[in-house]
């Protein structure tokens, strides 16, 4: 158990809908990262938050947004869903911003999103 | 219908042998690299990291080699065990301004008992 909790584990929804994925980082970790893992594109970094502020952005679509709350949990919002959004969405947390000191990131078990 | 998935490179290794997994990275400005292991149904798990000012780093049964000249990273696993069977990803991180993390597509390691 990595200490990172993601809910829900599975989600099935229809095209055009909006969903929210939730991540609780390990206790004390300030950084939260979101990743998408699809069958045809491997693991893609989406976005990073550090202590409530956006720190780094990857290949995140405009239809997707995220935020980190004062209690450090994070939510990833996916809207106007398309079939191609079906994927595993992982959250990871680490104590610090990557590149300084201990940069190990711990991953949650992921949320499997299926868009039908 | 049939599902179309990512065709990962696969490395099959006999139990007890050494494994070498390779990764080519793209950004010469990347200053930090990580190897992750992902077992079926689980999230990626950190194995070992290396900074760009190093060319080798050793952990327990694992060694990472970095060749910046050809932008190549390798993960060596000594005395490979059945529990090492998984998909292995490399990640390159470039700092400065907005930090960027790029993952390789992964290599599937199959250990033959």
| pLDDT 10s digits, A32-67 | 999 999 876 678 889 999 999 998 888 899 999 999
Which of A34, A53, A84, A98 to mutate to test binding with chain B, by most B CBs within 10 Å of its CB? A98
Q: What is the pLDDT of residue A103?
A: 57
Q: Do B103 and A58 touch (CB under 8 A)?
A: no
| Distance separating alpha carbons of residues A20 and A3, to the nearest angstrom | 20
Question: Residues 7 to 66 of B: which have CB under 8 A from any A CB?
Answer: 31-32, 34, 41-46, 49
pLDDT score, position B2: 36
Answer for the pair B109, B19: CB distance below 8 angstroms, yes or no. yes
The tens digit of pLDDT for each residue in A2-20 reads 899 999 999 999 999 999 9
* Biggest CA-to-CA distance, chain A: 43
Q: What is the pLDDT of residues B89-104, one digit of tens each?
A: 898 887 765 567 788 8
Phi and psi at residue A58, in whole multiples of 5°?
A: -115, -135
């Amino acid at each position: 158990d990595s200490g990172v909790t993601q809910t829900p584990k599975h989600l099935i929804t229809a095209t055009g809908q909006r969903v929210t994925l939730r991540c609780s980082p390990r206790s004390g970790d300030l950084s939260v990262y979101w990743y998408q893992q699809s069958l045809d594109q491997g693991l893609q970094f989406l976005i990073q938050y550090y202590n409530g502020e956006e720190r780094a952005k990857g290949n995140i679509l405009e239809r997707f947004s995220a935020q980190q709350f004062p209690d450090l949990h994070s939510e990833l919002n996916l809207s106007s869903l398309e079939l191609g959004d079906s994927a595993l969405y992982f959250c990871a947390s680490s104590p610090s911003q990557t590149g300084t000191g201990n940069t190990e990131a711990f991953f949650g078990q992921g949320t499997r999103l299926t868009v039908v | 219908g049939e599902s179309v998935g990512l065709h990962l490179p696969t490395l099959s290794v006999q139990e007890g042998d050494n494994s070498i997994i390779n990764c080519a990275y793209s950004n010469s400005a990347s200053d930090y690299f990580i190897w992750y292991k992902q077992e079926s149904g689980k999230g990626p798990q950190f194995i070992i990291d290396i900074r760009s000012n190093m060319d080798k780093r050793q952990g327990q049964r694992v060694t990472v080699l970095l060749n910046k000249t050809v932008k190549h990273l390798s993960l060596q696993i000594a005395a490979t065990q059945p529990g090492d069977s998984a998909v292995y990803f490399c990640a390159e991180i470039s700092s400065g301004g907005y930090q960027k993390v790029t993952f390789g597509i992964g290599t599937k390691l199959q250990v033959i008992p």
